[in-house]
Copies of this chain bind each other. A is one copy, B any other.
Amino acid sequence: MNQTAPALAESPTRRRLLEVGRRLFAQRGFAGTSVRALTREAGTNLGAVTYHFGSKEGLYGAVLAACLEPLRRRLEEIGRQNLPALDGLEAMVRGFFRHLAENPDMPRFMVQELVLGEHPHPEVVETIRAVLGALTAVLRKGQKEGSIVGGDPVLQALTVLSQPVYLSVVPAVLRKGGAGWEGIPRPHSSPEEHGVSILRRALASGRAP
């Protein structure tokens, strides 16, 4: 383990490094962000990253944790509420939409880690484990109770997950627009309400009332 300074919430240098790290890592990726750039932007001395986080890797892990831990906690909390399966799924989907609205840089981290990178960071793997675990648990429960249609619960979980992810990322891309985007259709209603109702249609067994 690295020897690092205690994570005092009130340390302004530590907080500034986290903010700057989050912005630069999201923009340029881990490899494209130097300790020099981080400390220059944060207005600290060159040793501050090592002092507060042990290394650039340590800062990166802290940035990912700040982005991903609240999502894991949110889903686990919903899981513990033990709602009827379709309601539990809806709560998780809405929680995911909210998390993406509050963390618009999350898709950049995820595609850098999972689509472009080779070895995802443990924080990312842990998030996949928690998200797929929470979703498949509810789906299996619903299948057993008869409220959710049969099928591979992992693929069903990916379909559930695809809605908040895809319906948050793509409309944001379409909204940016630019030259050449004239005439490209854009959504006119709430992606979240659409995602929730389409998933209920897709997954409700039809046997439940």
Query: Which positions in A face B, CB cutoff 8 Å?
Result: 107-108, 111-112, 114-116, 119-120, 122, 125-126, 128-129, 132-133, 136, 149, 151-159, 161-163, 165-167, 169-171, 173-174, 178-181, 183-189, 191, 194-195, 197-199, 201-203
Shortest Cβ gap from A139 to chain B (Å): 11
A interface SS class: helix
CB-CB under 8 A from A180, the residues of chain B are 122, 125-126
CB pair A198 B202 closer than 8 Å: yes
Copies of this chain per assembly: 2
CB pair B162 A167 closer than 8 Å: yes
CB pair A194 B111 closer than 8 Å: no
CB pair B152 A187 closer than 8 Å: yes
